[in-house]
């Protein structure tokens, strides 16, 4: 599973990082620090929860056929 993030629309709510700071790293200003995340096995549900937590809906879940 991959997550694709449109960083340009991040407003720094950090709700994704509140779900999992390991999956959703923030930069020093509190915005999402990455544009793509390869989700480790076993963390798929956390990834989905983090994506749903984003009020701007900038995190796209690409299941890759899973």
For residue 14, the surrounding DSSP H or E stretch is none
pLDDT for residue 66:
45
pLDDT for residue 63:
81
Per residue of the chain (66 residues), give pLDDT as tens.
999 999 999 999 999 999 999 999 999 999 999 999 999 999 999 999 999 999 999 999 998 644
The pTM assigned to this predicted structure is 0.88
pLDDT for residue 31:
97
Helices (H) and strands (E) in the chain, counts: 2, 3
Residues 23/31, Cβ–Cβ less than 8 Å:
no
Give the fold, CATH level 3, of 2-62.
Alpha-Beta Plaits (3.30.70)
Distances (CA, A) of 20 to 41, 46, 65: 14, 7, 23
pLDDT for residue 64:
65
Residues 9/32, Cβ–Cβ less than 8 Å:
no
């Amino acid at each position: 599973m991959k997550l694709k993030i449109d960083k340009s629309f991040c407003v720094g709510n950090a709700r994704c990082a509140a779900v999992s700071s390991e999956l959703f790293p923030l930069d020093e200003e509190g915005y999402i620090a990455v544009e793509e995340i390869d989700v480790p096995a076993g963390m798929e549900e956390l990834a989905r929860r983090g994506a749903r937590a984003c009020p701007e809906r900038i995190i796209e879940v690409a299941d890759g056929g899973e």
